Amino acid sequence: MKQGQQVHQDTPATGFIYNIQRFCIHDGPGIRTTVFFKGCPLRCAWCANPESRELKPQLMIRPTRCMRCGRCVDICPNHALYYDQDGTVRIRWSLCDQCHACVGACTSGALEVIGEAMGVPRIIHEVEKDRLFYRNSGGGVTISGGEPLFQPDFLLELLAALRLQGMHTALDTCGYCEADLLSLVLPEVDLFLFDVKHLDACKHREFTGADNRCILENLRYVAAGARTWVRVPVIPGFNDSPEDIGAIADFAREIGAEKVSLLPYHEGGLAKHAQIGSAACSLHIDVPEESAMSSLCAAVETRGITVTLRG
Amino acid sequence: MMQSADAMKGRLVIKAVRNVRKGLEEDEAGRGMYRPGIKLDLQRSRLITESYRQTEGRPMVLRRALALEHILTNMDIYIQDWEKIVGNAASSPSGLYFGIDMNWRSVMRVVNSKEGRDLLDDDGREELAGLADYWKGRSMSDIHQEVFSGEILKYWKLEGTFLWTHWAELGIPDYEKVFRVGLKGIIEQAGDKLAELDREVPRDYAAKKEFLQAVVIALKSVVAFSNRYARKAREMAIKAGEPADRQRLTTIADICSRVPENPPQTLHEALQSFFILHVLRYLEYSTVGIGVRFDKVFGPFYERDLQQQRITRDEALELLQLLWVKFHELGLIYSPTVTSIYGGAASLQAVTIGGVDELGRDVTNDMTYLVLDTAGSMQSLEPSIALRYHDRTPDSLLDKAVDLVSTGIGYPSFFNDKALLPMLGAWGVPASDARDYAVTGCVYMEIPGKNIARRVIGGISLPKCLWWALHQGMNPLNNEQWGAPTPDPRTFATLNDVIDAYLEQVRYFYHRINTIEQVSGELYEHYLPRPYYSALLEGCIDRARESRAWAYPSQVHPMCIMLGTTNVADSIAAIKKVVFDGKKLTMEDLIDALDRDFAGCDDVRRMLLNAPKYGNDDDYADDIAAEIHHRTQEVVASFTNRWGCRCRGDGSALSATYAAGAVCPATPDGRKSGESFADATLSPSQGRDTNGPTAVLKSASKIDTVRTYNHLLNQKFLPSMFEQGMRDRFLAYLRTWGDLGIAHIQFNVVERATLVDAQQHPEKYPDLIVRVAGYSAYFVDLSRGLQNSIISRTEQSF
């Protein structure tokens, strides 16, 4: 873990944020604004937001938006951009050094930088905009990612600022971090949305690239000290058996989590891999059937803990 | 025996008009202007012509009263075998009202064209031609043609920057007074006034006397009309086999012989009285969109019936459902030219519920909920339900309203007292009157019982005004100087120069539409007095003056539909971003790209599209939107109507945003020539709001209702927003809309895929209803272009 420490910054004036989305209604109670942190220690095979993994701004290219003006091809110092047979602009990722000169030249929106260094005041300014909606709905701000704990100093600074504004906060985390860090974060967060992928350590490592022991210990610690909702991405072929989900539900109940949310796998991440030049997962994952989701919900319910579908 | 809601729904007669024009072009005319089986009813035309022939040379107000009397005495009436509330403005359930005295030329064209051939048979066509002979030179439209000359005539021609129309003159009668004293009380009042005239003999004795005599003739003929229904019901009761049927008909007979002459005693009597009065509004003078504060007016009758155990809730529900079927029977023939404006509309009747009374108390009562239940069970086009929201609107009412919204029917639409009461105050409406406002048509504000001579004078295409500003008022296609000769846009040095030129064009064109309206108002006063309606308004009998000869003193009257404000705002924001701030284009580059409709300038268009857009809670665009809204209204308010009241805009877009967009060239917001404008005054351009529904509300809240006018805001949500667990968030969203003081909001709740499928397989979706503007319409009755415009509205997903 250890990766977390690499990004400790001397002056955490800014954090890398890749989206601030308003009217989020699946990320905690009420109407919320979700702040998406960039950078993640896990490499889940099903990742829906591959553009959130790296802790740095990244070029994203959407050829369908390209107007074929060619300005980007001319401006690229490394000649990474070229025309394909249709005249649409493509990129050789091996040549791209992420200088982003092309983005400034693009008027179509086909080239875009994902991730931006933002200061706390700017984030506060954004999340303040929907304060009335939070008040009327019992909502607030959710911090998600990527993995927010991957930028710990900035996260703490942001949480403190949100507390000062009287905002309800939820932290959506994969839980992969040092326990010391969680003890600092815990008192600053109103609700944890804690992701659990699998209780089996081997499977977890195989599909996420990381060990789950510290995750489960952290979850136990968090649930003992704060409101906690356990969130489970339901991935066919990985954790979609009633036994696997049921085991997670048992664990959640045992440690005192309030509820379990089942989040069915979706294919939203697939196209993005090519758009940022990362390798897509070679596994084919099916989208779970609604009927299968219903029976998984029932499996959780029989274990004596509240269950919700999608948030 | 109670009738089931399904049986009731089967009786709905669909009289929604289909688009046969897109702007000035033909649009899907082949499928007919109405659904099969709908016919043009000639009886009123025949009878008014007979009467007019007999009354030549007599005072106009008496001629109108005598014509009404002749119609009411001789028009065929019918009672269907399930009816408990009776009456119609046509002589059969499938008949369309036609005001031949207003305009016959376009209707003659319709019935002789492919889109309208089925509306009449050959005999009917021949009769119509004969009747039309009489109206040559006499109909309102003929009189207009003859009176205008010079520049007014030039700008009366349809060009596309504004459309003056004599449709949609509304106004709400003082039902509460009629229910208190009966028509007989009002006839007595007119009689007393006549006696007073004889004692005092004022200078305008004859005019006043003629008006009051006309009132008495009109009201007595209404009482006689109702008595015809009573007689018919009694005759039918004698022949009826089933005892239940005999009972139903006897009840109709009893009720129709008591009301509207006498004050109603029961809910059933009140509803029957109301419906005859309502139908008469249409029969006296062609109009659309009449409204009523339903729960406030009928709640006390319902409550008394319940207390005295005269009615059960189910029986009351059945009466309302039967009334809803009758609302559907009111349909009228539209001129083909306006079908692109009224696409999918029938007669735009509106029922207002909720809000506060004259003393500021919440009016919610059992009837409020009954209306929502009725609307939910009928799922009908008419009437549209308007819910007045305020801080004390009960949660239970809001909850019930959201149930109805979630069915996708498009109503209730929500009107915010927090925004609208201060607006009415700023327009000079006293607080107690303002608190009694009701909605008519789409989003029109009315004060029941007051002489609101308010007319929708037409619509003005604001993006077209901007386009003129970018062309010095000169049409580059034919070099005609049609707009104001504003400065050369290539010399514009600041954004203010652009805005000033735009406002100058608005001033130029508003001046012209207002001039047409001034003259028209005078003509209407001379040629179309309404003795019946005048009698139901406060003040006409006291003054012995017809309603068109004076007006309730307020800015509530003269309104013009503002089309495309958002597109102007986004255009100005794009010019600021790309030309003045970014310096990526010159004004010349920009105008060149617009004139080519962006052909070969995709990059320019993309740059314009990428500029900040209204609806994203981005002050860069929203501040400009607010400025454009406020300053445009300032220009409009610099004009006055013939009563000296300042003019104002209006947010009731109908489908005119689609119609006016069709004849507007490319605009600097990246909109291509012919594309629809944003669908309402507060709505973002379709698909340009990307920050979600809270951002849309925040943007809309920056437009000050008090500095502008009554608005319209459409939002489209997925059905999943109303599922268990999500619904509370929707309610909170709605409450926040209220807190933000936004004048209006309404919802389409439908999956995009459903609309796309319905467009491809209309036969599968005969009953799919969508919200167009201030009214709902059957999706399949809309033209493809208007369907596309609705599909392209941003779907708020999450």
Instruction: Tell which residue, B133, B124, B153, has the closest CA to residue B41.
Output: B124
Task: Please name every residue paired with B460 in a beta bridge, in sequence order, or none if there are none.
Answer: B162, B562
Q: Which residues of A touch B574 (CB under 8 A)?
A: none
**Pairing relation of β-strands B559-563 and B456-461?**
parallel
The pLDDT tens digits for B269-282 are: 999 999 999 999 98
Question: CB–CB of B694 and A22 under 8 A?
Answer: yes
Q: Is A271 in CB contact (< 8 Å) with chain B?
A: no
**How far apart, in whole angstroms, are the C-alpha atoms of residue B798 and residue B794?**
12
pLDDT at A8: 47
Return the residue of A nearest to B606 by Cα.
A108
Instruction: Tell which residue, B109, B113, B75, B74, has the closest CA to residue B92.
Output: B75
The pLDDT tens digits for B512-542 are: 999 999 999 899 999 999 999 999 999 999 9
Question: CB–CB of A107 and B603 under 8 A?
Answer: yes
pLDDT at B720: 85
Question: CB–CB of B739 and A138 under 8 A?
Answer: no
Q: Is A130 in CB contact (< 8 Å) with chain B?
A: yes
Q: Which two structure tokens, joined as six digits, stand for B295?
A: 């729960």
| Burial readout A92-127 (b: 16 or more C-beta within 10 A, e: otherwise) | eeeebeeebebbebbbbebbbebbeebbbeebbebb
Mean pLDDT of B695-701: 97
Nearest-CA distance from B605 to chain A in Å?
Answer: 9
User: Which contacts qualify for A242-250: CB closer than 8 Å, 24 or more apart?
Assistant: A242/A295, A242/A296, A242/A299, A244/A198, A244/A199, A244/A200, A245/A296, A245/A299, A245/A300, A246/A299, A246/A300, A246/A302, A246/A303, A247/A199, A248/A196, A248/A198, A248/A199, A249/A299, A249/A300, A249/A303, A249/A305, A249/A307, A250/A303
Task: Please name every residue paired with B444 in a beta bridge, in sequence order, or none if there are none.
Answer: B440
Mean pLDDT of B112-135: 93
When the pLDDT of each residue in chain A is averaged and rounded to a whole number, the result is 91
Question: CB–CB of B732 and A136 under 8 A?
Answer: yes
* Phi, psi dihedrals of residue A272, rounded to the nearest 5°: -70, -25
List C-alpha distances in Å: B567 to B57, B136, B501, B579, B688. 51, 42, 16, 17, 11
pTM over 0.95: no
Q: Which residues of B touch A23 (CB under 8 A)?
A: 692-695, 796, 798
Task: Give the pLDDT band (50/70/90) at residue B468.
Answer: very high
ipTM value for the complex: 0.90
pLDDT at B116: 87
Q: Is A74 in CB contact (< 8 Å) with chain B?
A: no
B615 versus A283: the higher-pLDDT residue is B615
Q: Which residues of B touch A128 (CB under 8 A)?
A: none
* Backbone angle region of A70, left / alpha / beta, with phi > 0 → left and psi within -120 to 50 → alpha: left
Q: At what angle do helices B565-575 and B495-527 cross, to 10 degrees?
A: 160
pLDDT at B243: 94
Q: Which residues of B touch A21 (CB under 8 A)?
A: 692
B638 versus B339: the higher-pLDDT residue is B638
Q: Is A14 in CB contact (< 8 Å) with chain B?
A: no
Task: Give the pLDDT band (50/70/90) at residue A11.
Answer: low
Question: CB–CB of B603 and A31 under 8 A?
Answer: no
**How far apart, in whole angstroms, are the C-alpha atoms of residue B517 and residue B709?**
19
The pLDDT tens digits for A256-283 are: 999 999 999 988 788 888 899 887 777 7
Return the residue of A nearest to B611 by Cα.
A107
Which among A22, A31, A107 is the nearest to B729, CB-wise?
Answer: A31
Q: Which residues of A touch B726 (CB under 8 A)?
A: 25
Mean pLDDT of A98-106: 91
Mean pLDDT of B594-608: 93
Which among B602, B603, B733 is the nearest to A31, CB-wise?
Answer: B733
Which among B602, B607, B739 is the nearest to A132, CB-wise?
Answer: B739
The pLDDT tens digits for B379-434 are: 988 899 999 999 999 999 999 999 999 998 889 999 999 999 999 999 999 999 99
Does A238 have pLDDT greater than 80? yes
pLDDT at B341: 72
pLDDT at B464: 97
Which among B602, B607, B732 is the nearest to A133, CB-wise?
Answer: B732
Task: Give the pLDDT band (50/70/90) at residue B70.
Answer: very high
Spatial contact of B671 and B598, defined as CB atoms under 8 Å apart: no
Nearest-CA distance from B691 to chain A in Å?
Answer: 7
Does A7 have pLDDT greater than 60? no
Return the residue of B nearest to A110 by Cα.
B606
Q: Which two structure tokens, joined as six digits, stand for B117?
A: 């051939």
Task: Give the pLDDT band (50/70/90) at residue B23.
Answer: low
**How far apart, in whole angstroms, are the C-alpha atoms of residue B628 and residue B635?**
11
pLDDT at B798: 54
Cα B130 off chain centre by: 32
pLDDT at B554: 87
Does A78 have pLDDT greater than 50? yes
Q: Is A294 in CB contact (< 8 Å) with chain B?
A: no
Task: Give the pLDDT band (50/70/90) at residue B611.
Answer: very high
The pLDDT tens digits for B769-782 are: 887 766 777 888 88
Q: Which residues of A touch B717 (CB under 8 A)?
A: none
* Backbone angle region of B495, left / alpha / beta, with phi > 0 → left and psi within -120 to 50 → alpha: alpha
Spatial contact of B671 and B684, defined as CB atoms under 8 Å apart: no
Nearest-CA distance from A211 to chain B in Å?
Answer: 32
pLDDT at B114: 83
The pLDDT tens digits for B650-681 are: 998 777 888 889 899 999 999 999 999 998 99
Contacts (Cβ under 8 Å, ≥6 apart) of B441: B168, B170, B288, B289, B291, B348, B350, B456, B652, B774, B775
Q: Which residues of A touch B692 (CB under 8 A)?
A: 21-23
Nearest-CA distance from B607 to chain A in Å?
Answer: 6
Q: Which residues of A touch B606 (CB under 8 A)?
A: 67, 107-109
The H or E element containing residue B61 is helix B60-74
Instruction: Tell which residue, B484, B474, B534, B475, has the closest CA to residue B504.
Output: B484
pLDDT at B550: 93
Q: Which residues of A touch B733 (CB under 8 A)?
A: 31, 133, 136-137
List C-alpha distances in Å: B590 to A30, B596, B610, B669. 45, 10, 15, 11
Nearest-CA distance from A143 to chain B in Å?
Answer: 16
The label of the residue with tokens 């943007």 reads: B699
Question: CB–CB of B798 and A24 under 8 A?
Answer: yes
**Pairing relation of β-strands B95-96 and B39-40?**
parallel
Does B797 have pLDDT greater than 60? no
Nearest-CA distance from B734 to chain A in Å?
Answer: 9
A282 versus A48: the higher-pLDDT residue is A48
Question: CB–CB of A133 and B606 under 8 A?
Answer: no
Task: Give the pLDDT band (50/70/90) at residue B796.
Answer: low
The pLDDT tens digits for A174-231 are: 999 999 999 999 999 999 999 999 999 999 999 999 999 999 999 999 999 999 999 9
Question: CB–CB of B698 and A31 under 8 A?
Answer: no
Interface test with B, best of A19, A21, A23 (most B CBs within 10 A): A23
Question: CB–CB of B740 and A132 under 8 A?
Answer: yes
Return the residue of A nearest to B607 by Cα.
A107
The H or E element containing residue B563 is strand B559-563
Mean pLDDT of B153-165: 84
Mean pLDDT of B576-603: 95
Question: CB–CB of A133 and B796 under 8 A?
Answer: no
When the pLDDT of each residue in chain B is averaged and rounded to a whole number, the result is 92
pLDDT at B241: 87
Mean pLDDT of A143-161: 96
Q: Is A136 in CB contact (< 8 Å) with chain B?
A: yes
Mean pLDDT of B589-601: 96
Which 8-state DSSP code applies to residue B19?
P
Size of interface A-B (CB pairs under 8 A): 64
**How far apart, in whole angstroms, are the C-alpha atoms of residue B665 and residue B674?**
6
Mean pLDDT of A36-58: 93
Spatial contact of A200 and A164, defined as CB atoms under 8 Å apart: no
**How far apart, in whole angstroms, are the C-alpha atoms of residue B365 and residue B368?**
5
Question: CB–CB of A22 and B739 under 8 A?
Answer: no
Residues of chain B with pLDDT > 70, as a percent, come to: 97
